[in-house]
């Protein structure tokens, strides 16, 4: 009798609960995951720019020097290199931060869709295990 009760009443209730709560919860937690990843990546870029200014400056000077070499102005290379080194700090990594944000915005719908698919599965399996444990405890 309990087996029939479990399959006829509890299973449809669990399915409805997992669809409603799982979709909303999965999308919400994927939204949080994408936002957290964005914050961590941008924080890493800022900390690298602040903590290692010599490395950022060398990379900036190398990029400027490489651009001058591509333009074919080989006679100005020592002047351009010394000017890039003397200009001070590398510019703020705005392009990197914007590209990280753009990638996070592009990933957001994919993550939310993934949460809408995986959320109900997770909610149903955990709820089903809890109900089975409760029913097993009542039988004993």
Structural domain of residue 107, as residue ranges? 2-139
Q: What would the two tokens of residue 120 be?
A: 């109900």
Residues 23 and 123: their CA atoms lie apart, in Å, by 9
121 and 15 Cβ atoms separated by less than 8 Å: no
Q: List pLDDT tens digits, range 23-66.
A: 999 999 999 999 999 999 999 988 887 776 666 667 777 777 77
CA distance 80 to 69: 10
Residue among 125, 123, 131 nearest 2 (CA): 131
pLDDT at 116: 95
| Counted domains in the chain | 1
- How much is the pLDDT for 134? 85
Please, what is the end-to-end C-alpha distance for the chain in angstroms?
15
pLDDT digits (tens, 9 = 90+) for 84-117: 666 656 677 888 899 999 999 999 999 999 999 9
Region of poorest pLDDT, from 23-27, 124-128, 133-137: 133-137
């Amino acid at each position: 009798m309990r087996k029939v009760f479990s399959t006829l009443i509890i299973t449809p209730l669990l399915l409805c609960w997992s669809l409603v709560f799982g979709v909303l919860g999965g999308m919400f937690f994927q939204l949080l995951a994408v936002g957290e990843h964005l914050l961590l990546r941008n924080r890493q870029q800022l900390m690298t720019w602040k903590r290692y200014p010599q490395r950022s400056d060398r990379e900036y000077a190398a990029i400027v020097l490489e651009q001058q070499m591509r333009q074919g102005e080989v006679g100005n290379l020592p002047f351009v290199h010394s000017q890039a080194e003397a200009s001070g700090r590398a510019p703020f990594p705005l392009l990197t931060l914007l590209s990280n944000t753009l990638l996070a915005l592009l990933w957001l719908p994919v993550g939310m869709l993934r949460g809408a698919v995986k959320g109900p599965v997770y909610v149903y399996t955990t709820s089903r295990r809890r109900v089975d444990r409760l029913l097993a405890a009542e039988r004993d």
